Structure 1
Amino acid sequence: MSNKQIDRQRLMTFLSDFGDRDIYVGIMKGVIAQINPRLTVIDLTHQIQPQDIAAARFCLMNAYPYFPVGTVHLAVVDPGVGSKRRAIAVEFAQGFLVGPDNGIFSGVLSQSPAIAAVELTNLNYWRTSQPSNTFHGRDIFAPVAASLASGVPLKQLGQEINPASLVKLDIAECQQTSNGVVGCIQYIDRFGNLASNIPASYVQGKTWYVQAAGLSIPGCKTYGDVSVGERLALVGSHGWVEIAINSGNARSKLQLDWQEPLQVVLT
């Protein structure tokens, strides 16, 4: 890699389900530093539950708008590692995505469609031509992302593929009804808040409540609008309607889980 390419370096983010107990994250950062020690790598999170592609999709979809145009987003939640699933890099209006073709990028691309995509077939940008069957993050994704962030053109990284062929996660879209919106839970955070797939635009400036688990849950503006331990619905900082318990855990208390249905009712 030339000094001229390194001078065009971009910011990188890194998301995974590796946690902080093992050495996987550190090793991948070491590989990145071997290629370009001047790159800035920002950790989005490494606390995605193991193999939870849907959670990774949600987190990346809600994080990318806060980074400069041209940022390279490296995401590795990869239960299909070593299989025939494709390793990919994607260009979109805000930057680039590098990781497995398993739907992890489908949330981002639903908001900002792919401009171009490649399968990572150019072994010159892999760490080794014989990658581990269990750690493509180290041997393929980290070196490719570092190269891309250092100025290597996307088209040099592999064979061009049709962006329409990229895997999409089967996440239901909300549907408007005569008196509201029907949706489902698409993410659960560490506080037990239940984020739906209903965007804030449906409830802004309106009076509303949520029906879920046989309950009517009042629409509020803040957690403090109800007493401690009481349930409420509000728009989270991510811009989606969510169900919460003031100072409690909605998932545990209401026994609701991912993709379970709910309805916003306008009054």
Structure 2
Amino acid sequence: MSKTRVIALLSDFGLKDGYVGIMKGVIASINPQITIIDLTHEIPPQQISAGRFCLMNAYPYFPLETVYIGVIDPGVGSQRRGVAIEVPGGYLVGPDNGLFSGVLSQVQAIAAVALTNRNYWRVPAPSLTFHGRDIFATVGAHLASGISLEKLGQSIDIESLVNFPLEPIKITEKGLKGTIQYIDYFGNLITNIPAAQVRGKPWSIIIKNQTIKHSLTYSDRQPGELITLIGSHGWVEIAVNRGNAQQRLQVQWGEQINLVFR
């Protein structure tokens, strides 16, 4: 083992139970020198799209060669593949269910393997309900310790990886039609419209029969007022200054919005 890489962990396990700690214990048992960063464990249960967004958003801000272990796995124990994917910034380890397709929409995968080599699993016969412990944490720890991707299993075609695409943006007579792709802790509604589509143009968002004018910062509106702006993540979002846009508008993931240029 020639090097020690950072591991970034993401899951929908929450912190009430011991699942996250157990995964960290497995990693430390293999190599206690690994630095583990918790990206988040508060993804809503089974919400692959939310995990997709968080990984995609976080990927540019980690050190090169980081190993990202993502465990949002409603198909655990089924025939879905476990995979490890090499990308320019590091490695992605987890279920092949589209969780990594946000990152892969931004960068080109270099190589991918199905996790078929049981020598790098925690046990040869893993739990059918906790692959995060028995396969993904273990494989990720070996990768972070310098084991090569090729040793982890059978090479697979990059094009065969499951894609979980965003709803496509539609061009309308007055602007764009999009959807809500993520809702953060503050209740901000993050759309699937990237900043590049609107930069340099004035716009408004129409949602739930309300028209919300574009501004630059949250404080451009009075406390309690709705606002739309480009968030730090680089997507158009809807917010309430010092409030919660999801609660105000009563919307969920996938809700349609109209963006109109003015």
TM-score class, shorter: over 0.9
Tell me whether 1:75 sits opposite 2:63 in the alignment: no
Distance, in Å, in 1 between the alignment partners of 2:117 and 2:240 is 50
Can you give the 5+ residue segments of structure 1 that lack an aligned partner in the other structure? none
Which residue of structure 1 aligns with residue 117 of structure 2? Answer: 122
1:181 CA displacement: 2.0
Distance, in Å, in 1 between the alignment partners of 2:257 and 2:110 is 34
Q: Structure 1 counterpart of 2:203, which letter?
A: W
Which residue of structure 1 aligns with residue 220 of structure 2? Answer: 225
Distance, in Å, in 1 between the alignment partners of 2:258 and 2:159 is 31
- Aligned with residue 260 of structure 2, among 247, 262, 265: 265
Distance, in Å, in 1 between the alignment partners of 2:207 and 2:165 is 21
SS of the residue 2:196 aligns to: helix
Q: Structure 1 counterpart of 2:239, which letter?
A: A
Q: Structure 2 counterpart of 1:215, which letter?
A: Q
Tell me whether 1:249 sits opposite 2:257 in the alignment: no
Which residue of structure 2 aligns with residue 90 of structure 1? Answer: 85
Distance, in Å, in 1 between the alignment partners of 2:207 and 2:133 is 42
Using a 3 Å threshold, how does the CA distance of structure 1 residues 178 and 93 change in structure 2: closer, same or farther?
farther
1:170 CA displacement: 4.2
Contact 2:120/2:142 (<8 A) preserved? yes
Deviations 1:226-261 (A, max 9, x none): 111111101111110001111111111112211111
Deviations 1:47-68 (A, max 9, x none): 1111111110000000010012
- Aligned with residue 234 of structure 2, among 239, 257, 263: 239
Distance, in Å, in 2 between the alignment partners of 1:255 and 1:57 is 23
Which residue of structure 2 aligns with residue 60 of structure 1? Answer: 55
Q: 5 Å matches for 1:186-205? A: 186-205=181-200
Can you give the 5+ residue segments of structure 2 that lack an aligned partner in the other structure? none
- Report the TM-score, using the length of structure 1 for normalisation: 0.95
Distance, in Å, in 2 between the alignment partners of 1:67 and 1:263 is 34
Distance, in Å, in 2 between the alignment partners of 1:177 and 1:193 is 24
1:219 CA displacement: 0.4
Deviations 1:58-106 (A, max 9, x none): 0000001001221110010111111111000001111110000111001
1:132 CA displacement: 0.3
Distance, in Å, in 2 between the alignment partners of 1:207 and 1:134 is 49
- Aligned with residue 16 of structure 1, among 11, 24, 31: 11
Distance, in Å, in 2 between the alignment partners of 1:259 and 1:46 is 22
Distance, in Å, in 1 between the alignment partners of 2:22 and 2:7 is 16
Runs of 4+ in 1 over 6 A off after TM superposition: none
Q: 5 Å matches for 1:123-202? A: 123-202=118-197
SS of the residue 2:74 aligns to: coil
SS of the residue 1:62 aligns to: helix
- Aligned with residue 43 of structure 1, among 26, 38, 47: 38
Distance, in Å, in 2 between the alignment partners of 1:173 and 1:117 is 26
SS of the residue 1:251 aligns to: helix
1:195 CA displacement: 0.1
Which residue of structure 1 aligns with residue 29 of structure 2? Answer: 34
Contact 2:206/2:257 (<8 A) preserved? yes
Q: Structure 2 counterpart of 1:262, which letter?
A: I
Across the two proteins, how many residue pairs are aligned to each other?
262
Distance, in Å, in 1 between the alignment partners of 2:127 and 2:42 is 23
1:178 CA displacement: 4.7
Distance, in Å, in 2 between the alignment partners of 1:146 and 1:43 is 14
Deviations 1:207-240 (A, max 9, x none): 1111111211110111111111111101111110
Q: Structure 2 counterpart of 1:38, which letter?
A: Q
User: Could you tell which deviates more after superposition, 72-81 or 172-181?
Assistant: 172-181
Deviations 1:109-130 (A, max 9, x none): 0111211111000000000001
Report the identity percentage: 58
